[in-house]
Amino acid sequence: MHLSRLKIINFKNYESQAFDLSARLNCFTGLNGMGKTNVLDAVHFLCLCKNHTGLNDKHLVRHGESFFRLEGNFQLTAGNPTTIVAKYPLGQRKEIERDGVPFTRLTDYIGLFPVVMIAPDDVSLVQDGSEDRRRFLDATLSQVSPVYLQNLLIYNALLKQRNALLKKMSEEKTFDATLLESLDRQMPAPAKVLYEQRRHFTAEFQPLFQAFYSDIAAGRESVDARYESDLEKADLDVLFQKNLEKDRLLQRTTTGPHRDDLALFMDGQPVKKFASQGQLKSFLLALRLAQYEVLRREKGFAPLLLLDDIFDKLDAQRVRQLVGLLISRDFGQIFITDTQRARIEAIVASFTGDYSVFEIENGQAIS
């Protein structure tokens, strides 16, 4: 699978721009703030119906305009093209069309065009709370398993209702045991699906993550990723009974898969406390590349790989290791942004396949 042509209209700082893309390597260079990352974000939106950083769709519309439109021509296999259009008019619902036919449910679309994006804000995976790491798990598994995505939506809807009920009962100084028990009976089934699929994913992901880090860092440190969940101790219905008084006191659900974490370590210590900037960048790259490899194995074809400013803060040896890794392995179609034109030229000089290089200035490709 690859994206052969991308057209962007009124998206972020782009008024109208089309890109004819290489099936293997596409490089975007230019100064900061010119729109390089926005190209990758447009590809990400076409694949997953959302911005990489979670921005509300209304903030993606170009200033002064009333809508944005993205169009991508994908080649699924040789001679099997398909056109995807994403449209968002301000104040209305976004629409995704495939060959002119709109999807009635976005959940039916997620996973058809898998993608992995590596960006500077990935540092939140390590430095922030467990919510970002759960989002990492969910983003991967939602592209792999429609069953997972459906159960995630069900669980989150029930969780929202349960938390609202706990808060209401506290404010009104009442206790509706019947309604609470009704919610509690519905939540263990989807929770079990989330737990089992996350556990299975981590078992597959962990050795890949360790191998990629070893390749990037030349074996200088050891790393680990461990899945932690309340459901390792007991089923959710048992945990609900055990934590009922605590939940009522705090007015929220204090146990369940929404509290899961992917604990991250370097040389046996929590990575956020001990890693240098270069080690942290290598760590995050290995996380994303392992995510990519899991998606490729599960989907049976290579996802798109979007690499935003990945060489910043890496020493020369780690840059060489990473470039060698990208060139030596079959990563399918790759998109790279970098402010240094010379570094981009060095990458393509060592790349034997087809490639394209675009110079970006103020939301336009000038070369």
* CATH number (domain holding residue 62): 3.40.50.300
For residues 161 and 224, state if they share a domain: yes
Give the CATH number for residue 260.
Answer: 1.20.1050.90
> Considering the chain, what percentage of its residues have pLDDT values greater than 70?
98
CA atoms 162, 167, 169, 175: torsion sign: positive
* Range with the poorest average pLDDT among 61-65, 161-165, 215-219, 234-238: 215-219
94 in a structural domain: yes
For residues 283 and 311, state if they share a domain: no
For residues 363 and 276, state if they share a domain: no
pLDDT score of 195 more than 90? yes
- Residue 226: other Cβ atoms inside 10 A: 11
322 in a structural domain: yes
Structurally, the chain folds into a number of domains equal to 2
End residue of a domain, out of 249, 264, 299: 299
Confidence of residue 341 (pLDDT cuts 50, 70, 90): confident
- Top-confidence residue, 120 or 8: 8
348 in a structural domain: yes
> Considering the chain, what percentage of its residues have pLDDT values greater than 90?
74
End residue of a domain, out of 299, 325, 353: 299
For residues 340 and 226, state if they share a domain: no
Range of the structural domain that residue 65 is part of: 1-114+303-367
124 in a structural domain: no
185 in a structural domain: yes
End residue of a domain, out of 284, 299, 314: 299
pTM: 0.91
